Structure 1
């Protein structure tokens, strides 16, 4: 058995693990990285990257429908579903070298292509190697959760890990789950020519602002997607190409089935008991600094049991690097973490929703709404469906919700404001090029200050005084 001693051992080569490994080795630490499956993890191979590529192909197909208001008639779209999936593969292939074994070995990381399991609080075995490390970072991520629906094990079905392998377009795709993955795949497949039914046991977009998510739901329904809420799946039956999902709202029939009901953390291979690490079904138990009960071991990203987003894993990487390499206090926060669903229109959130802010702040809360149809750029480009809603307490934003074209980009300014505890006056002070969608953010600041300026008796009195006495 070969033994390796190192400063930092990273278990998992997804977004968070790769960020830790690259950052630590370039700052002079000895780093060993374990990855038993694919470098780049879920995001590169099964999640963020392929889903956005497929949505982009679907958007091109959808655009062939034309726009009568702009004087553009419908074109003749020829959709090759298999070719669209090949495009997805090509996108993954272009990004993969950045996450490859060769790149990280070039940086000086010792990469072991095997899974790791703890054999003691300081040792991890990977194949015929035992790695001893001063600090260990668990970044094993999560996998699709497959619910125990009666009949499911007897039928072919897909998850986000397998749907991108499909090369023949589904005639009718049944999707169980109305979260971001389910809704993005619903719109992508509908625009690529499939009939689509989304079956959700509660409400779709359950974590988002219901006022804004309703706008997305209506748009998807207008495109022909059947969305059934409060329909708990009770069983599935049939055969390949002829599948029935029985729910509390009746039966639904299709040719293919995609499960998008959530994620489960990847802890089963780790033998965490040997390391004295506490965990449960939601993830590994960590403190504010992302440390486990075993003070040598950290957990980051999905496996740490919090928000399951690629950018959160990257953020966590920065937190633990600060602690491990420099011995500085570092805590992971959540209030400034945004998320986005990349449907058309996009749906994004950072900080508190309106309901959460009202529950916390009550009468101290101001909610500022601005519709996209007041934006000159939105009008000029025909993208007026949308709204931004910002929750403000004593002049500082505590949350923002956006639905509309480019919402994933627009949310960035509010994420920065929350991360830096900025006042909304900082947004008002921006000067932006005209016309841009970004002006919508500045309009929010204007909408917040307008009644305070134009309806204030004191301001009117002060202006009158200045005009009377100052030459």
Structure 2
């Protein structure tokens, strides 16, 4: 069989673009097949940034975003400033789209093919699209995902929005006044907070005990408190059982609560875009929300790799790109690289931000003896930069072993996305927590929180070592009484 490409990448996701560009830089021949050009990923972040802008400019009427309510309308009419903010977001999204445009990839040597295709197994493994047969040594699935709609009685008949179409709804210029956001994923929390910052009444309904399943409970409590301070009603452990339309009003039954609302946003999770790819015919298995892959990111057909939210997990671009890097190298060369998520951070763009990596306190105490694990905490109110910027809400939490090895970190506070990157570097290079404590960060800066938290390791070690305390006390007593 004649090989047309070294790798064929299927999907229009950011991870697919990242992998295609990386393949050309390695001088590989690559085709990118995308069913349609979709840049929805830029709109969500632009929207959350508008929410931050709304909050920061709240005390500046000449440049702020204002919501006015009338007794005769149940809609939140957004002022001219909202329209200007939307224009700003559209410009940002347009700039980001340009950076990831098919033209840029094509100029780099990527063969861009727009269309829907599917795998064929006979006589050899190929991918058919637009009456073309693409032959490659290996294939990479990065087709992304779409919102998963839960089976809730009355939901389809009542109507709802999802993360994929809420942006188009906002562009109409009028926001509904009352919202119910269903789902405990990062994007649902970000959207709920953003809507509240534009003056809407928002209820966030989560079926789990905490806002996110994988978040540190200490951080989850602080985050929920912050949302409630900003006006978001949060109901945890309240599965939605039914939705009804009564007198042109939407009603949600969440546990024992009946909630009236103007609009419903469903953001409970994602499901992979794989239905039309004929995967079963080529021996690729999937389970519920994700493809089945090994730690080399090979599917059950070892010539087909996968990355991004098509293999499950939260929809984070940096994690998808990390997986794309591993999968692409394995696909182009020898499959020897394995994913290791211990050193890959993630961040949620709430305000303040949440960032986490490695093991949580509970996970560490499950894997190691409780006596081996130390939990180090420090609060942002002790940081000079936080005081200067009036962003004192937050906490830094490090999970370490007695020997100083860093197992994980959870940060809730300003600049958390940058701080977690420093922890990621330290963990990947096996830097001990005492080395963080010995660094001299720029003052004032938010990095000071890492130094302060790391110093807690020495304090806890000393407090638990009675013999060392007695030695130090005796040593300094001797020095004080030593006749110089």
Query: Residues 126 and 162 of structure 1: is their aligned pair in 2 closer, same or farther, counting only changes over 3 Å?
Result: same
**How many angstroms apart in 2 are the aligned matches of 1:193 and 1:90?**
24
TM-fit CA distance, 1:282:
3.0
Give the Cα–Cα distance (whole angstroms) in 1 for the partners of residues 28 and 65 of structure 2.
54
**Correspondent of 1:437 among 417, 431, 446:** 446
The 8 Å contact of residues 175 and 186 in structure 1, kept in 2 or not, is answered as: yes
Q: CA deviation at 1:371?
A: 1.0
Whole-angstrom CA distance in 2 between matches of 1:335 and 1:389: 16
Moved more, 416-425 or 451-460: 451-460
Specify the SS of the correspondent of 2:159: coil
2:178 corresponds, among 172, 178, 181, to 172
Q: State the shift of 1:429 in Å.
A: 3.3
Q: Residue 428 of structure 1: CA displacement?
A: 2.2
Selected match of 2:196 from 187, 190, 198: 190
Tell whether the 8 Å contact from 1:230 to 1:249 is kept in structure 2 after alignment.
no
CA distance in structure 2 between the aligned counterparts of 1:155 and 1:249, rounded to whole angstroms: 20
In structure 2, the partner of 1:42 is none
**Deviating more after overlay: 120-129 vs 75-84:** 75-84
Contact 1:155–1:240 (Cα < 8 Å) also in 2: no
Change beyond 3 A, Cα 1:179–1:295: closer
Give the C-alpha shift of residue 87 in structure 1: 2.9
Secondary structure of the 1:21 match is helix
User: Is the partner of 1:32 in helix, strand or coil?
Assistant: strand
Match for residue 151 of structure 2 among 145, 148, 152: 148
- TM-score, structure 2 as length reference: 0.88
Q: Deviations over 1:97-152 (max 9, x none)?
A: 11111111100111000122111162111121111111111111111111121111
Distance 1:153-1:407 versus aligned 2 partners, 3 A rule: same
Over the residues paired in the alignment, what is the CA RMSD in angstroms? Answer: 2.5
* CA distance in 1: counterparts of 2:114 and 2:478, whole angstroms: 76
Could you say if the C-alpha distance between residues 76 and 280 of structure 1 is closer, same or farther in structure 2, counting changes exceeding 3 Å? closer
C-alpha displacement of 1:315: 0.5
* Residue aligning to 2:8: 9
Given the alignment of the two structures, is residue 55 of structure 1 paired with residue 48 of structure 2, yes or no? yes
Alignment-derived partner of residue 369 in structure 1: 377
Please report how far the alpha carbon of residue 259 of structure 1 lies from its aligned counterpart in structure 2 after TM superposition: 0.4
Give runs of aligned pairs for residues 142-291 of structure 1, distance below 5 A. 142-166=145-169, 167=172, 168-203=174-209, 204-238=211-245, 242-291=249-298
Partner of 2:410: 401
Alignment pair present for 1:385 and 2:398: no
CA distance in 2, matches of 1:306, 1:183: 16
On the 8 A contact 2:139/2:331 being kept in 1, the answer is no
Deviation of the 1:51 alpha carbon:
2.6
| Corresponding residue for residue 317 of structure 1 | 324
- The residue matched to 2:189 in structure 1 has which SS? helix
Q: In the TM superposition, what are the counterparts of 1:328-343 in structure 2 within 5 Å?
A: 329-343=336-350
The question of whether the paired residues in 2 share the 8 Å contact of 1:385 and 1:404 is answered with: yes
1:250 is displaced (CA, Å) by 2.0
Q: Secondary structure at the match of 2:176?
A: coil
Match of 1:69 in 2: none
Deviations 1:168-202 (A, max 9, x none): 11111111113211111111111112111112222
Residue in structure 2 matched with residue 135 of structure 1 by the alignment: 138
- List per-residue Cα deviations over 1:333-363 (Å, max 9, x = no partner): 1112222221112112111111111222122
Distance 1:334 1:304 in 2: 14
Per-residue Cα deviation, 1:369-395 (whole angstroms, up to 9, x for no partner): 111111111122221111111100121
Q: Aligned partners of 2:118, 2:481: CA distance in 1, in Å?
A: 80
**Alpha-carbon distance, 1:403 to partner:** 0.9
Structure 2's unaligned 5+ residue stretches are: 67-78
SS of the aligned residue for 1:369 comes to: strand
Greater Cα offset, 239-248 or 75-84: 75-84
Is the 2:355–2:417 Cα contact (8 Å) retained in structure 1?
Answer: yes
Distance (whole Å) between structure 1 residues aligned to residue 61 and residue 136 of structure 2:
64
Task: Determine if contact 1:175/1:198 at 8 Å carries over to the other structure.
Answer: yes
Tell me if the contact between 1:139 and 1:300 (Cα under 8 Å) persists in the aligned partners.
yes
The alignment status of 1:295 with 2:302, answered yes or no, reads yes
TM-score (norm 1): 0.90
User: Please, which moves more after superposition, 420-429 or 78-87?
Assistant: 78-87
Partner of 1:114: 115
Q: What is the number of residues matched between the two proteins? A: 458
Shift of 1:449: 1.5
Aligned mates of 2:156, 2:30 — CA distance in 1? 41
Following TM superposition, by how much is the alpha carbon of 1:76 offset from its aligned partner in structure 2, in angstroms? 7.0
